[in-house]
Structure 1
Amino acid sequence: MSYVPLASAAGRVHVCAHRGHSIGAPENTLPALVEAAKRGATVAEIDVVLTADDEVVLLHDEILDRTTSGKGRAAALTLAEIRALDAGAWFSPAFAGTRVPTLAEALAEARRHGMGLLVEIKERQRAARMIERLAAVLTAERAAGDVLVISFDHVSLVEMRRRLPEARTELITHARHVDIRAVAERAGAASVAIEADMFHPDDGRALHDAGVAVRVTLPRPDRIAARLAYGLDIEGPIREALGHGLIDVLAGDDTDHIAGLVTAYGRLG
C-alpha cells in the first residue's frame, strides 16, 4: 500500500479520520482506526509522543490525564507503564481496557484496512529525538510510502526529510501565508493542511500548480450547525471547493460526515 495525497494522482478525494473516528471511539487508539476504516476513511491523522524509553506512541497530549487513566507526562513513563493504563474508559465504558498503541501497531492496523496515516509530531521537549525515532520506525516497518509526517513546526519537517530522504511531509497551517506555494516548496512538502475557516480557493490553486496536495479540516457537525445558526456558514465554501477539485483530503472527527461530503461533492483537480 502507498498513500498518494494528490487526488488527481490517487484517483479519489481522500476521506481523513481525525485521530481516527474520534467522534465514535477513543481518539488515537486502534478501535478508532478500525471504526474509521469501516466508515470509508482512506487515511487517518494520528498524533505521536515519546515514552521515557523512547518508544513512539499515539497520544495527542504530552500529559496523560485527559485520555488515559494515568497522570503526568508521558515522557516520565516507560512503554510498559503506559501500556498498563486504560485509554478507553474516559470515552465510554464500552471501550474500557483499550490500550495506548505504538506507532508500529497503528501502521500495521492501517495496512490491514488499506489506509494511509498522517503522523503528527506532538513531542515538544525532545523533537530531535522524536525525528530520530520516527525515521527508525518508518525504516524498520518499510512504511515511508504509507505516511506523511506532519507538524506545525515546519523546521522539524525539513529535518525529518534530511534524516530520512524518502519521508514525505505535510505542513500544518493556521494562518494564510502571502505565498503558500513558496512556503511548501521551500520545505519540500508533499501536502499542506489548512483549517476550513482559513482556506481560500486561490491558495488551493497555487498549491496544485506546484503539485502539492491540499488537506482541509472541518469541525464536528454540531459545531458547524452552531455557527450556521448565527449566519456563519463554514461548510458551504468547502463544499464548493470540493466541487472545483481544490481539496485533495477532507478531514474531521466524524468520518461519516466527511465521507458523505466527499461522495456528494468531491471532484478531482
Structure 2
Amino acid sequence: MFDLLPARSGRILVCGHRGHVIDGHENSRPAFRLAAELGASLCEIDLRITKDGRLVVFHDDILDNTSTGTGLISQLDYAQIAQLRTKARNGMPIDGQPIEPFEDVLAFCRDLGLGLIVEIKDKFEGTAYLGKVVGLLKEASMFDRVLISSFDYVVLRDIKRFAPGIRTMGINYHRLVDPAAAARSASMDVMNTDYPQFAPDVAEGLHAANIGVSHFLPRPEFFALRRGYGVDYFEEVDAYLRAGLIDMLVCDDVGWAVDFVTDCGLKVAKLDPAL
C-alpha cells in the first residue's frame, strides 16, 4: 500500500482531478496518460452505474454536458452508452473518447503506474454496488492502489465494513468544527478539504489522528485576478507544503502542480512499482 502521509518525509502526492483535464479531456485515456507523463502520483475518477448494472467512468449523472449523447446514464444500458464519445465540457475541440467500463480504466491506469481515487457518486441501497466496486478492484490487482472517495460518509463507513483493508477519502467543502472526529466517524484514511476552507488547524488535527490531508485547488488561472489585487493564495499553499501540512494536492493541471511542489523544495511521491 502506498503512503498516505508522505508529508512526514518531505514528499507530496499529486493527483490529477479526472486526469490532466486542462486540454479538454476528462475521465478518459488521454487525460490519464498525460497525467502520468507529467508526473502525477494518482488520478481521481468518477463512477456511474448503467441501467444494466455496468460501472462506467463518467462524472455527471446525465450524458448531455460531456458526451455526444443525452439522457441519464442510469436509464441506459451499457451497449447504448458504448456507442457514444466524450466531448469537452468547455467547448474545446477534442478527439472524442469512449465512455469506458471501470474495469478497463483500472487496467489502463495500473499499466501506467498510477494510483486512483475512485469517487462513488451514485445513490444506492444495500451492498451490491460496493461489491461490484471491490470485486473489480481485486480482479485488476488495484485494491492496494486505490482510495475510495465520496461526499457521502455513510458510503465510506459501509465500504470499510464490507471490505476491511480498503482505504477511503472523505470529500469536504466545509470548515468543520472537528474534522478529525468527522473522519473517525467514517473510519476514513484521508480527508480532502476544498479551497477556500483549508486552514492549518484542519491539517494539524487530522495529522494528530494519523489521517492524511488532501487539498483541492481550482485551476491556477482562477487565482490570477486575485493575485493582481495583492492576494496570493499560492504563497499560503507554499507555506503549508513546506510546513508538512498537506499530503496530497488535487488539481486539474498536473504539470502546474508538479512544478509547484518542486519549486517548494519537495518531491512528488511515487507509488511503489511493486504494488
Q: TM-score, normalized by length of structure 2?
A: 0.90
2:117 counterpart SS class: strand
Aligned-pair RMSD on alpha carbons?
2.0
**Alignment partner of 1:71: what SS?**
coil
- 2:119 equivalent in structure 1: 120
Gaps of 5+ in 1: none
- Residue 30 of structure 2 aligns to a residue whose secondary structure is helix
Partner of 1:131: 130
Distance in 1 (CA, whole Å) between partners of 2:9 and 2:17 is 20
Match of 1:48 in 2: 47
| Distance change in 2, residues 1:64/1:128 (3 Å) | farther
CA displacement at 1:227 relative to structure 2: 2.8
Q: Distance in 1 between matches of 2:176 and 2:88?
A: 41
Whole-Å separation in 2 of the counterparts to 1:20 and 1:75: 23
Q: CA deviation at 1:31?
A: 1.1
Shift of 1:104: 1.3
Q: Which residue in 2 is equivalent to 1:209?
A: 208
**Aligned-pair CA distance for 1:9:** 7.0
Give the drift of 1:132. Answer: 2.9
- CA contact 2:81–2:99 (8 Å) conserved in 1: yes
Identity %: 35
User: Quick one: distance in 2 between partners of 1:114 and 1:79?
Assistant: 27
- Alpha-carbon separation, structure 2, partners of 1:163 and 1:266: 40
2:63 maps to 64
Indicate yes or no: 2:156 matched with 1:186.
Answer: no
Contact 1:52 1:78 in 2 (8 A): yes
Q: Show the counterpart of 1:160.
A: 159
Give me the whole-angstrom Cα distance separating, in 2, the residues matched to 1:225 and 1:126.
44
C-alpha separation between the residues in 2 aligned to 1:245 and 1:70?
Answer: 45
Q: Superposed, which structure 2 residues align to 1:133-152 within 5 Å?
A: 133-152=132-151
The residue aligned with 2:95 is: 95
Gaps of 5+ in 2: 268-275
Paired AA for residue 41 in structure 1: A
1:260 matched to which residue of 2? 259
Per-residue CA distance 1:36-71 (angstroms, 9 max, x = gap): 001110111111110111111111100011111010
Instruction: Give SS of 1:198's match.
Output: coil
In structure 2, what is the Cα distance between the partners aligned to 1:220 and 1:55?
32
Which amino acid in the other structure matches residue 197 of structure 2? M
CA displacement at 1:94 relative to structure 2:
4.0
- Secondary structure of the residue aligned to 1:95 is coil
Which stretch has the larger CA shift, 19-28 or 139-148? 139-148
- In the other structure, the counterpart of 1:241 is 240
Look up the match of 2:273: none
Indicate how the Cα distance of structure 1 residues 52 and 32 shifts in structure 2: closer, same or farther if over 3 A, else same. Answer: same
1:30–1:101 contact (8 Å) kept in structure 2: no
1:11 is displaced (CA, Å) by 6.7
Number of residue equivalences: 266
TM-score (structure 1 length as normaliser)? 0.92
Secondary structure at the counterpart of residue 99 of structure 1: coil
Q: Quick check: 1:123–1:130 contact (8 Å CA) kept in 2?
A: no
Question: 2:8–2:244: 8 Å Cα contact kept in structure 1?
Answer: no
When residues 157 and 192 of structure 1 are mapped into structure 2, their CA distance, relative to the original with a 3 A threshold, is same
Contact between 1:197 and 1:234, CA under 8 Å: does it hold in 2? no
Show CA shifts across 1:75-109 (max 9, x none): 1111221111011466554413x101122122112
CA distance in 2, matches of 1:244, 1:187: 27
State the one-letter code of the partner of 1:208.
Answer: H
Contact 2:23 2:92 in 1 (8 A): no
Letter in 1 for 2:95: F
Q: Distance in 1 between matches of 2:233 and 2:118?
A: 26
User: 1:127 touches 1:156 (CA, 8 Å); kept in 2?
Assistant: no
Name 2:79's counterpart in structure 1: 80
Displacement after TM superposition at 1:267 (Å): 4.4
